[in-house]
Amino acid sequence: MTTYKAPLRDMRFILDEVFEVAKLWAELPALTEAVDADTAAAILEEAGKVTAGTIAPLNRSGDEEGCQWNNGMVTTPAGFPEAYRTYAEGGWVGISGDPAYGGLGMPKVVSAQIDEMVNSANLSFALYPMLTAGACLSINTHATEELKRLYLPKMYAGDWSGSMCLTEPHAGTDLGLIRTKAEPQADGSYRITGTKISITGGEHDLTENIIHLVLGRLPDAPAGPKGISLFLVPKVMVNPDGTLGKRNSLSCGSIEHKMGIKASATCVMNFDGATGYIIDTPNNGLAAMFTMMNYERLAVGIQGLSCGERSYQSAVKYARERIQSRAPSGPQATDKAADPIIVHPDVRRMLLTMKAVNEGGRAFSTYVAMQLDIAKFSDDPVARRCAEERVALLTPVAKAFLTDLGLETTVHGQQIFGGHGFVREWGQEQLIRDVRITQIYEGANGIQALDLMGRKIVGNSGVLYKHFSDEIKAFANDASAELAEFVKPLQAAIANLDDLTALVLDRARTDPNEIGAASVEYLHTFGYTAYAYMWALMVRAALDRKNEDDFYASKLATARFYFARLLPRIYSLTASVRAGSKSLFLLAETQF
């Protein structure tokens, strides 16, 4: 059985010393009252306790037991309902919800750390409150005042949960194909009819009501993505006074049997003329759903980091205890029959890769969260627009890069355990099975790469990219001479990405396959370059204090590893992008 300890020290370092978020909060009126550095620290400490003490212990048993479906009802594993109640009563579901409706109004930079903790503790468990928080965000941004008053307080309190119903059997990536019907009724509501598949938390026994956000089509809607509307469809009808009424006409037909996240109910949902209420205007459903998806995509990216962090914690402990062979430089533990495997260069390579990727990912996801906060809370329209640009550009990177690297790091964590890593009781193989879905759902990673390259870069003629690149260059130009060791390779990396971006923009004008051919390797080149920026920011914060304590010295050593061993990956990725689309189409379809 593995244990989990929230990495509070690193989280505090990133918030307080790297990004100095308290200064930002002092400039954003909605946050000035709500939070300061001490409050944030106390919240994170509490979150560390509840995730490690209450939720993490259910991770393995939840995986073994899974969810059960019986005649439309879904039972979560033993301990889940009680743990969920504890979590909800602690106010964690509505932690960043709107205070006007009972939320706690915390900034995303704080809730992003909580997301990391709860997902490290138990990815399956984390999905229930995560979907609820996302649904609340969409309702709060796009629904009528009446719907907000009726639904948000109960959802923030965790009494009711949320789900996101997009996918249909024939429509996953291409949501323009969805067929679910929404027929207007005389009282202003809609009759929703259709089948949705793979719906996380579509049915379960954790809450008395489930609020589904469902994409559907009005009878006169245009074909494709421009004809989709969003509806709020409760499992149990809600009376005008907020009490629960009769069951709505919807049911869970079955649950999926999956590779991982076995304690998260993945449901087939049948809507049989269910009553729903429109959110936002007709045919604007995808835009309304995207409000939720930007947040969810960052949260899914964080899931990749969470699994990597949990795997790392176990792997370090194991590498210190497991003795095999002697160090190449001569015996280290002379009182033992062999040295602990942490002395071996290859084991150190794997541990350092995990550590550098996790800490870089934590800084990057916090940076994106900070942009979400500025976009939401700033009074300054220029600052808001600039932050919105960053969110648009970086969300697909956060989603895909953190989760792709989450798979790499959890595989390293398993490898460090040798044969034991393959055996269930050590917990490492579950993390690989769990993290794998994060590369697929919430838009497969290949689609994230297309979004980055196609919509966010080529679609904007490189303008959003240029603004981010300029920010990195300005940082590098202003950096002190002491940082030169890190700033020089960062400058080379951003110059490389500038050239690559210009090349793809140019080729995309004439080659229709260029974007798709370049996108995944381009996203990874972008990701490693962005992490180099994060590592340089972390070094700047740690450098002056390197003699104060081990934490700062280890930051610098890890940064050196990142720049020496991981950043150079961009040059091989760049060569792949430069090779263009031609070799992808040399084979006829029949030759596969």
SS in 3 state form for 115-136? HHHHHHHCHHHHHHHHHHHHHH
166 binds ligand FAD (CB under 6 A): yes
Selection from 170, 328, 197, 175 nearest residue 254 by Cα: 197
As a whole number of angstroms, the distance between CA 198 and CA 262 comes to 13
Binding mask 117-156 for ligand FAD (x = CB under 6 A): ----------------------------------------
CB nearer to ligand FAD: give 100 or 259: 259
Residues 494-523 that bind ligand FAD (CB under 6 A): 516
Q: Counting contacts by CB under 6 A, is residue 573 touching ligand FAD?
A: no
Dist CA 238 CA 388 (whole Å): 35
Candidate segments 21-29, 160-168, 204-212, 504-512, binder of ligand FAD by CB under 6 A: 160-168
Q: Which of 88, 126, 152, 164 binds ligand FAD (CB under 6 A)?
A: 164
437, 476, 523, 538: which one binds ligand FAD (CB under 6 A): 437
**Could you say which of 3, 68, 173, 324 contacts ligand FAD (CB under 6 A)?**
173
* Segment interacting with ligand FAD, rule: CB under 6 A, options 82-90, 159-167, 311-319, 327-335: 159-167
Closer residue to ligand FAD (CB): 450 or 494: 450
Q: Say how far apart CA 563 and CA 565 lie, in whole Å.
A: 6
Structure tokens at 510: 């004439």
Using rule CB under 6 A, residue 198 touches ligand FAD: yes
Q: Are 118 and 125 in contact (CB under 8 A)?
A: yes
Q: Does 447 bind ligand FAD (CB under 6 A)?
A: yes
Residue 421 to residue 439: CA distance in whole angstroms: 22
Please tell me whether residue 446 binds ligand FAD under the rule CB under 6 A: yes
Bridge partners for 190 per DSSP:
184, 276
Rg of the chain over all Cα atoms, to the nearest angstrom: 24
The answer to the question of residue 258 lying near ligand FAD (CB under 6 A) is: yes
Shortest distance (Å) from residue 522 CB to ligand FAD: 14
State yes or no: residue 195 binds ligand FAD (CB under 6 A): no
The one segment of 83-91, 158-166, 178-186, 293-301 that binds ligand FAD by CB under 6 A: 158-166
Nearer to ligand FAD, 303 or 491 (CB): 303
Phi, psi (deg, nearest 5) at residue 179: -120, -10
Taking contact as CB under 6 A, which single stretch among the options 33-41, 316-324, 349-357, 434-442 is the one that binds ligand FAD?
434-442
Of 77, 103, 162, 172, the one binding ligand FAD by CB under 6 A: 172
State the minimum distance, in angstroms, from the CB of residue 402 to ligand FAD. Answer: 17
Q: Does 455 bind ligand FAD (CB under 6 A)?
A: no
Nearest residue (CB) to ligand FAD, 416 versus 437:
437
Smallest separation (angstroms) from ligand FAD to the CB of 116: 20
Nearest alpha carbon to residue 410 among 438, 431, 426, 427:
431
- 259 contacts ligand FAD (rule: CB under 6 A): no
The partner residues of 193 in beta bridges, in order of sequence, read 181, 272
Read off the tokens for 269.
């949902």
Diameter of the chain measured on Cα atoms: 84
Distance from C-alpha of 124 to C-alpha of 118, rounded to nearest angstrom: 10
Contact 526, 494 (CB under 8 A): no
* Spatial contact of 410 and 458, defined as CB atoms under 8 Å apart: no
**At closest approach, how far in Å is the CB of 85 from ligand FAD?**
22
- Residue 589 CB neighbour total at 10 angstroms: 5
Which is nearer to ligand FAD, 67 or 493 (by Cβ)? Answer: 67
Joined together, the tokens standing for residue 111 give 């809730």
Binding mask 461-500 for ligand FAD (x = CB under 6 A): ----------------------------------------
The residue (of 355 and 456) whose beta carbon lies closer to ligand FAD is 456
Residue 82 among the catalytic residues? no
**Residue 5: partners with Cβ closer than 8 Å, 6 or more residues away:** 48, 52, 313
- DSSP labels, 59-113: HHHHHHH--EEETTEEEPPTTHHHHHHHHHHTT-TTTTS-GGGT-----HHHHHH
- Least Å from the CB of residue 469 to ligand FAD: 26
Exactly one of 165, 300, 400, 518 binds ligand FAD (CB under 6 A); that residue is: 165
Q: What is the 3-state secondary structure (H, E, C) of 523-551?
A: HHHHHHHHHHHHHHHHHHHHHCCCCCCHH
Q: Which residue is nearest to ligand FAD (CB)?
A: 172
Helix (H), strand (E) at residue 165: strand 160-165
- In whole angstroms, the minimum distance from the beta carbon of 499 to ligand FAD comes to 25
| Active-site hit among 429, 442, 514, 521 | 442
Spatial CB neighbours of 42, under 8 Å, sequence gap ≥ 6: none
- Decide if residue 211 touches ligand FAD (CB under 6 A): no
Q: Does 22 bind ligand FAD (CB under 6 A)?
A: no
Site membership for ligand FAD, residue 266 (CB under 6 A): yes
Closer to ligand FAD at the Cβ: 138 or 198?
Answer: 198
Residues belonging to the active site: 442
Residue ranges binding ligand FAD (CB under 6 A): 164-167, 172-173, 198-200, 258, 266, 437, 440-444, 446-447, 450, 516
